Structure formats: structure tokens, C-alpha cells
Chain A
């Protein structure tokens, strides 16, 4: 093995000759700050509550943080007026206190250094770390242009850093939330209805009569208001239809569970369309009034009978017909849910198109119990100079995927690998709030790219695996310790939510807005950060919106009346969809003109070879990706993932529940750690299943280190969606190994 310059450093190796230069935390809040007043009030009261919105996942539920007399956070409770949580947080939100308390948090800035030929990190002061970043960025900007400095981000810190990047002239920005998650459905739905699904999804679940989940496992993904509304729908007697090779929690709540053969969903949907059209039970009036391309669709699906689909999907023809009729009976109060993590097989935009077309046939878009018309309120932009115009950015990098609507992380990282035909050389990367070694597949490519970089910065609250590849690590404080952007929610009614620090930042951690401003000032773009405290920005914005910081501190969430009209289509009026034609596009001329199938087709995908099982992965309700694995409260609920194995497979291989096994994928990649078998009837015999986000390699994560398997390291076969660049990850196959393959090998 050759020695890599960017050798993965375990942060636990810290201090080997390192120079501790840390000074005490700077009081960035100033003397007569809000925080100081809080602390005084705390003496008088048992609990003090401050508003926030949760950052443990992306749902951003508004909540109240309760702190005791000593200023320690006791509990976090949902805000009753918030349409993301209706006063009830999920386990991760309730357990958010563990994110603050975690003693393994990053505590000071760290700088990569070499001591006696060994790479390690040393502690550094903020000044030193920020000076180094600014000077490296400046050098790269002079030599290659600001565009060569890329940002990979997620969540609230990403917003502040995006502002910094745009200020110094880089639009080379991407996030795994797009090409590794929901990108294909946004493309599929905007091609059909003219608008993104967006977050939260505008699914009118509480009033639906029929909810159809295709591989979406609401209840295991705790997308809070969706889970709550699904529960309301159960109370209201709604029918749930779940299509999933695994007997998910949602499947157990369903009247119909269709245990589909993996990778055949489009075939099932084509057959559903066939039944709806053949039996003339689709919403004829709706289609006639709002849609275009029906004849082409009818001709296209005429051959896709339930009998044909049975051979492909394993779902019996009568079940396909019965479920199609159930949907039609509920129409238009029916939802074919667009799902969220939808990068599966590389034809994912087309699968999303099939879902959108089904929704159109059932007349559910813009109808009560289907999809409502969402609305949000614009938060006024704080005065700032106009951004410069970069010569290239995420758009140019992703240009070979014509309908990519956001940056593609994998394409941005490929640009870091030198080659003669690379027109967009990326030289530095900042990673903020996303553990890319677990969120982006194809580790080999990622490591090659990171190794080729001149400079890499990671901003995080925890020593996630990705910090080991950085030149500089910056410790961000948690959401409970900082101001952040006002949350403007897209929902039935527009609303805003406030995030205020409940306690001052622990250790020597800092908020991302401060990090962005400090780097900006050092890079000569201080004019874009015309404030000393982000609180000033919020105060200015709230005033403009007709409220104030004082009011928002008391209420946390403010709901505004709708201005865009009714939640649903006006049945007597006319409506123009924001598509090219103004109609719902069942047949897509846009796809046709780009050389893609204008109507979705079923494509056969690779199947597991003899002795291999398809690797499926998903979510557990108490964890968010890999970021919560070390959270003391949430780790207490689930410490590691397990490998779901069908009893037939267990019998053949002689596996028992609780037994440790290792996995080897089709490219001979062996899992770093072992995983415990869970023999269960809830999974098909041709696949295995695990919860994503475990198998951490960073020893400093004292609770999460070495627990379970990281599914992402086994995802080396990636099927790229040619339409928008999504990275299909469900085409990986694994062998189950019962003897430790790492014996005598140091991990």
C-alpha cells in the first residue's frame, strides 16, 4: 500500500507532539447579550424555555428547549403551533439534548501536521485555523480562480457557508440531499406537474382515503408530520397500500402489502396504469381538463397487463387489479407517495415519472386528500452587495446530466481528480454538516479525490469519519447553542420559526455563521457580513416581516395567512400548471427532445448472482443517517445495526440471530466490521437489509466506533441516472462471511 498524503487520521491520535494553543472561548455574544439575561433569569425560575427548531434531521421541527437553574439543557419539547411537529417531536428531536451533551464532540480547531514522519492533528486557536483557511483559499483563488474551491454541505451550517462561497465567487456547491437522495423525484414530478415535490412533501395524508407507499417506510423514517398524519389517516379508516420487498412497519399498518421483487417497481406501476385506463376508472374529467399526452400513455401501457407484471414483479394479477381499483375508489383522495431517498437503480427519474403519472390518472394533484398547493413566506434578504458571477460552477460540472437542478456531489468530487479533459479543476473542498464517507457511495473515487485535493476543511459538531481526511477541522456548536437562519416552512400555511441559543457554546465550538463571517473578513469580502452578531440579521428580517425578536422569542413559530389562493384546485375555475405546456405532461416532450424515453419504461436490472444477496438499507426511527450514532440518548435506544436475513437463507448458511458476520460485495469489498444477524420473516430470501449509518471508523466516537456495518462502503456499484445524475445504490450484492476476514489485519 502506498502512503497517501491524506492519510486518514483518527482524531484519537490527537496530541502526539501537538501544540495546545487553545485560548478560552471568546464571548461572541457581547456583554449585555440575550444569553447573559437568560442566565440571570434562570436563577429565579426552575426552567427557562427558549425557542429553536431541530437540527437532528432535515425536517426542522420547531421546539422549546428547557434549561434548568444551572443552565443545563433538561428537555426539548415540540412547539404546538408548528405544522412540522404539532407539538410532538420524534425520538431524535426529544433526544437532541444528547447532541449537546455528547462528551465526544469536537472541542477545538484542529490542524493536520507531521510529527516525526507521522501525520496527526494538533489543537489550534481559531485565529490560526481561520488564518490558514483564508490564506489557502486565497492562494488557490489566485492560481485557479475561486471556482476551484468547492463546498459540500447539509443543513443549517451549509446556508451560512454558501453565502460565504457566493461572496468570494464560487458556485461550486453540492449536497448529498440531491444526487444521493431526493433529486430524481424532483425531476420526475417537475417534468409532469411543473413543480418540485419539495420538503416537507405537500401530501395531504391526514385527509387521504388511500395512501400508497412504494419503498417509502414512513414510521421508520420519522418525517414527523408525515408520521403523525399517517396515524390520523389510520384513525380515519384510510387504506394503506405498501409496496416493499421488506415487511416494513408501514406494511404492518397496511391493508395491502405487495411484497415486490426488488427493482421491478416501474413494471407494477405500468400495470396499475393499464388497469386504470382499461377499466376506465381513472379520473376522466381531470385528465381531459388538465393533462396532455393521454393517448400516447394509453397506447404505451396497453401491453403492460397485470399478467405481464406478475411475471416481472411476483405480484399476482388479481392483487394488482384489486389495489388499482382501491385507489380509483378513493380518487381523488389518494396519494402515490413520491418517497424521499429515491436513488435506487439509475432509472429513478423515470420511476418518479411513473408515480407522478399515476397521481395524475387518479386526479390527486391539487385535490383534498391528495397533494395540496403548498405555500411559504419569503424572508427578506439582509442587505448585502451583489454576488460576483463565477465562470463555472455546479451547473457546468453537472452539464452532462441535462436535468440536474442542483449540484451533483460525485461530479464535483470527480473534478478534484486531475485529468487532461477536466475543464473544472477543483483544488479545495470544505465539507460542512455531512459525513460524506457515509453519505456518498464509491469510496474509492471519494478517497482518490480527497487525496488529490490541495486543501480540505471539515466543519462538524462531531469527529465523524470525514474529519480524518481534513487538513483543518472546525468544531461547530450544536443548534442548541446558536442563532441561525429563520426557518421559512413550505406547508399548508406559510410559517416561520426562530432558533435562539438556549445555552452558550460548549468547549471552544462556534456557530457556522461566525465561521463564515470570520473567513469572509479574512478573504476581503467582509462587506457581505455587515453585522457583528447574526442576531442583528434576524432582528432586521423579523421587523421587515411585521414581527420582532421579542415576539418570536415568546412564540417560537408564527403562522401567516395564505396569499396564493386555495389549498386545492378550484373545480369551476381554470388552472395553468407551471409546465412548458401549462398542462400536466403525461407524455414528456422535454424528455423526448433530450433523447430520453418520453414515457416511463420498465428496464430489467442486474440480479444477485448465486450465493449473493441484494443489499437493501433503510432508516431506524431513532437515528438520522450516521450523525446520531454516538448521541448518548439515541445510542441507548439502538447501538448498532443488524443484518436482516430470511429464515430460509439462515437455514442454508447455518446462521443464528445474534451471530456476528461480515459482508463481501460483488467487487470483493469486505466490510470493515462485523454485524449481528437477525433472522426474520420480514425480509425476502433474495435480499438482506440493514439500517444505514453505522460502522463508524473514528475511534473518538466512543459509543459508535466499530458498531455494525457501514452500508455505504459496500456500495461500489453505482447506477447513474442519465437524466439528473442521481447515484443509484440498490444494485449491490453481498456474500455473508462467518469467519473473521480481518484476523491478523489491523483495521
Chain B
């Protein structure tokens, strides 16, 4: 996933769309908006961006899961099998992005990149509703995909690179 911070207005549509698409209970969220302000009036910079699970290549949540509920698919997507999760919370502690939460039904929940929609050839709900079209989703292994092209041609960053998790959500800056 690639997110263009130059276009994001921080409207939170991605958050509501995820809640309604994935039945995320009100009061919880799988994605959220952060706002960073730098500088002093009148030389200010503002960065707005939508954050979520980074579906890390080197995922600490998968490594630390005692039951195997947290697992990674061949395509890189990190998922939690609710039935196998005992809600121990180790993964929540291990995640440098604070992307996981305890679902009131007793398991740990987080962004799935809307895996159920991908299977039908649809984009994740957040990407499909974003009014600024600042979010892109695709195959990073394919050099010709839109996401690969964006990363080739634009400046970007990832979050908490020092954690060594190899995150798969990229921010264009």
C-alpha cells in the first residue's frame, strides 16, 4: 500500500469505511489518522496520514504469537485467525505501530487489507472510498504496478524503519 501524504486531508473516511466494511465495533478502529505539525507560525509544515497495520515482511507479531493465530500469507498479508487467538496480547505489545487492538469478543483484531474484498478483485475499503484518492494498493513485486511506479518516481518513507520490520505501507512525501 502506498499513501500520498501530499494529498491526504485527514478526513477519516478510511476509518469509517473500514468500520462499516469490517463490522469494527464503534470505539475501536483498524486504521486511524495522524497529524504532525512542525515549525512555528508562520513557517509551518503539516503532515496528515492514514495509518494501519504495515503488513511487515519481518513481522514481530507473527513471530511472538504462541498459537499461530497471527500468520502471514504467501502474498505478504498478515492476518489473525480469531478462533485460534487466545487474546494474550503479546502481538499488541510487539507491534511498533500500535496497529492491533483487543476486540470485545475476546480476540485480537487489526487491518486485513480487506482480504475478503481482494479475493473478489476489489480494493480495500479505505482505498476505494478515499475522496482524495491518496491511497494506492497493488503488487509491490510487479515492477510495472502503479504502487511500484509511484515508489520509483516519488520520494517516500516508511514508519519506524529502525524497528527492522520491513513495513509494506509506504508514504509519499
Q: Which of B16, B27, B132, B134 contacts A94 (CB 8 A)?
A: B16
**Inter-chain contacts of A249 with B (CB < 8 A):** 9-10, 46, 48
Q: With an 8 A cutoff between CB atoms, is B108 at the interface?
A: no
B135 → chain A closest CB, angstroms:
11
B147 → chain A closest CB, angstroms:
15
Query: A interface, how many residues as a size bin?
Result: 35 or more
**Inter-chain contacts of A252 with B (CB < 8 A):** 44-48
A228–B132 CA distance with the chains assembled, in angstroms? 5
Q: With an 8 A cutoff between CB atoms, is B39 at the interface?
A: yes
A231–B134 CA distance with the chains assembled, in angstroms? 8
Question: Contact: B12 with A633, CB < 8 Å?
Answer: no
Question: Contact: A632 with B26, CB < 8 Å?
Answer: yes
A90–B19 CA distance with the chains assembled, in angstroms? 14
Question: Contact: B131 with A224, CB < 8 Å?
Answer: yes
Question: Contact: A227 with B9, CB < 8 Å?
Answer: yes
B82 → chain A closest CB, angstroms:
19
Q: Which of B16, B41, B128 contacts A91 (CB 8 A)?
A: B16
A636/B41 contact (C-beta < 8 A), A97-B20, A227-B131 known = no
A682/B11 contact (C-beta < 8 A), A97-B20, A228-B133, A633-B16 known = no
A636/B7 contact (C-beta < 8 A), A88-B129, A91-B13 known = no
Q: Which of B19, B37, B48 contacts A680 (CB 8 A)?
A: B37
**Inter-chain contacts of B73 with A (CB < 8 A):** none
A296–B58 CA distance with the chains assembled, in angstroms? 70
Q: Which of B5-52 contact A (CB under 8 A)?
A: 6-7, 9-13, 15-17, 19-21, 26-27, 29, 37, 39-42, 44-48
Query: B interface, how many residues as a size bin?
Result: 20 to 34
> When each residue 589-632 of chain A gets 1 if its CB lies under 8 Å from chain B and 0 otherwise, what string results?
00000000000000000000000000000000110000000001
Question: Contact: A247 with B44, CB < 8 Å?
Answer: yes
Question: Contact: B9 with A94, CB < 8 Å?
Answer: no
Q: Which of B71-103 contact A (CB under 8 A)?
A: none
**Considering only CB atoms, which chain A residue lies closest to B15 in the complex?**
A637
B44 → chain A closest CB, angstroms:
5
Question: Contact: A91 with B11, CB < 8 Å?
Answer: yes
**Considering only CB atoms, which chain A residue lies closest to B11 in the complex?**
A621
Q: Which of A412-464 contact B (CB under 8 A)?
A: none
A622/B21 contact (C-beta < 8 A), A88-B131, A681-B44 known = no
Question: Contact: A257 with B131, CB < 8 Å?
Answer: no
A682–B39 CA distance with the chains assembled, in angstroms? 9
A97–B17 CA distance with the chains assembled, in angstroms? 11
A222–B47 CA distance with the chains assembled, in angstroms? 18
Question: Contact: B131 with A90, CB < 8 Å?
Answer: yes
**Considering only CB atoms, which chain B residue lies closest to A647 in the complex?**
B40
B109 → chain A closest CB, angstroms:
16
**Inter-chain contacts of B7 with A (CB < 8 A):** 231, 234-235, 253
Question: Contact: B40 with A220, CB < 8 Å?
Answer: no
**Inter-chain contacts of B20 with A (CB < 8 A):** 74-76, 94-95, 97, 633
Q: With an 8 A cutoff between CB atoms, is B140 at the interface?
A: no
Q: With an 8 A cutoff between CB atoms, is A731 at the interface?
A: no
A257–B46 CA distance with the chains assembled, in angstroms? 12
Question: Contact: A682 with B37, CB < 8 Å?
Answer: yes
B161 → chain A closest CB, angstroms:
24
**Considering only CB atoms, which chain A residue lies closest to B38 in the complex?**
A681
Q: With an 8 A cutoff between CB atoms, is A184 at the interface?
A: no
**Inter-chain contacts of A95 with B (CB < 8 A):** 16, 20
Q: With an 8 A cutoff between CB atoms, is B130 at the interface?
A: yes
**Inter-chain contacts of A228 with B (CB < 8 A):** 131-133
Question: Contact: A259 with B41, CB < 8 Å?
Answer: yes
Chain A CB within 10 A, most for which of B7, B131, B134: B131
Chain A CB within 10 A, most for which of B11, B48, B134: B11
A289–B155 CA distance with the chains assembled, in angstroms? 46
Question: Contact: B41 with A219, CB < 8 Å?
Answer: no
**Inter-chain contacts of B29 with A (CB < 8 A):** 636
Q: Which of B27, B42, B47 contacts A636 (CB 8 A)?
A: B27
A368–B122 CA distance with the chains assembled, in angstroms? 34
Question: Contact: A231 with B131, CB < 8 Å?
Answer: yes
**Inter-chain contacts of A230 with B (CB < 8 A):** 132
Question: Contact: B19 with A633, CB < 8 Å?
Answer: yes
B75 → chain A closest CB, angstroms:
25
Interface residues of B (CB under 8 A from A): 6-7, 9-13, 15-17, 19-21, 26-27, 29, 37, 39-42, 44-48, 128-134
Interface residues of A (CB under 8 A from B): 74-78, 85, 88-91, 94-95, 97, 219-220, 222, 224, 227-228, 230-232, 234-235, 247, 249, 251-253, 257, 259, 621-622, 632-634, 636-638, 646-647, 680-685
16 contacts between A and B (CB under 8 A): A75-B17, A88-B130, A90-B11, A97-B20, A230-B132, A231-B132, A234-B7, A247-B41, A252-B45, A621-B13, A633-B16, A634-B16, A636-B19, A646-B41, A681-B41, A685-B41
Given contacts A77-B129, A228-B133, 6 further A-B pairs with CB under 8 A are A75-B21, A91-B16, A219-B132, A227-B132, A681-B44, A683-B41
| 9 nearest A-B pairs in the assembled complex, by CB-CB distance | A219-B9, A621-B11, A252-B46, A231-B132, A91-B13, A259-B42, A75-B20, A94-B16, A95-B16
